[in-house]
Structure 1
């Protein structure tokens, strides 16, 4: 199955989509024909990266099993007047060649925005599933990723017993899925960004991680792991 990696630079002066995880989720979903959210072929994952030096820049990354059409995103949050048939305002490339190159022992840089949580059981109700609660300290967030990494197809190299990985951002997202603002419609996510190095241990498991995502909140910009050559 072929997968694709798409990058689109957004205009920070046009924040209508980026100000709301729900609106950005809907915009990404609208880039594809209706299809199941998850399958053996993978699901659509996205992440919004932001840098402020030397100037502010926002980049929307999308990994998907189909080629997206982001015309509406360019029109609402990009630079539509500069778009041309040869440069529509975004760049989509096959992701499968990178997936096929993964080998055990290879060391790579990575970035991940995820929603680290733990299940807390309520006193007196051992028969019920625990309440999913966000982890709020960098130490707990790093431990969450370290504990899960072997099943995800990689390990986190350490120096002096500490992972060569850091929490570089942590944002509390609180929004409603729709406009009715009912109590059950509210979404709370702790979006935590990790930057660091990993070592591939199981290429097949890592391929699944890269195309299916990690943890909860994947519809709202969490779960996308991206790789780069070691610096």
Structure 2
């Protein structure tokens, strides 16, 4: 598994377009994994706020960021950094710091059509934290302590002029303990929750 750190130049037209629309950013990132006529492998990513716009990309395959440099000269503010993520150091019972931007949801029956079920974003902080705990029980970890560092509803457009898609975006930070090593490794590689292609679900962990 590989982790890439990308710093985008906000003066670049394509970079500004991508930073304003997760659909566009995902499409741009795909160029580093596959040709235009190929289906790219799944990968996780998260945009980080800061003085220089930064995007973290986690993938099973090694990306080729030179393709983006050739396609969009000047897109990156600095040369992309990619490094392997060793998973063999992980152990059951290990305590790790984590950071996660997720789209916590619950599925309920549609009141207008009981045969259908609709996904709803969770707005209440307590419900958001309960969602994270449930994900942990399925994903091989126990949440020891967590806080919601940011919670907001974000609007995005898949197509120009189309109807907006509204998602609940929640940034979690805290500590976890690994309870099931194999399940936890699957969580790291596969991500948590829905809307992964739109920048959600990447669980970043570190010692401490």
Question: 1:177 maps to which residue?
Answer: 158
Provide the C-alpha distance between the structure 1 equivalents of 2:74 and 2:153, rounded to a whole number of angstroms.
25
1:119 to 107, 114, 118: 107
**How many residues are paired up?**
199
CA 170–75 in structure 1, closer or farther in 2 if over 3 Å, else same: farther
Question: 2:56 maps to which residue?
Answer: 61
SS of corresponding position for 2:132: helix
Provide the C-alpha distance between the structure 1 equivalents of 2:203 and 2:47, rounded to a whole number of angstroms.
12
Provide the C-alpha distance between the structure 1 equivalents of 2:162 and 2:19, rounded to a whole number of angstroms.
22
TM-score between the two structures when normalised by the length of structure 1 = 0.79
Provide the C-alpha distance between the structure 1 equivalents of 2:74 and 2:148, rounded to a whole number of angstroms.
31
Residue 125 of structure 1: CA displacement?
A: 4.2
Q: Which runs of 5+ in 2 are unaligned?
A: none
Consecutive aligned runs of 4 or more in structure 1 exceeding 6 Å deviation: none
Provide the C-alpha distance between the structure 1 equivalents of 2:97 and 2:89, rounded to a whole number of angstroms.
15
Question: 2:81 maps to which residue?
Answer: 91
TM-score between the two structures when normalised by the length of structure 2 = 0.87
Q: Is the 8 A contact 1:172 1:191 kept in 2?
A: yes
Provide the C-alpha distance between the structure 2 equivalents of 1:36 and 1:9, rounded to a whole number of angstroms.
22
RMSD across aligned C-alpha pairs, in angstroms?
Answer: 2.0
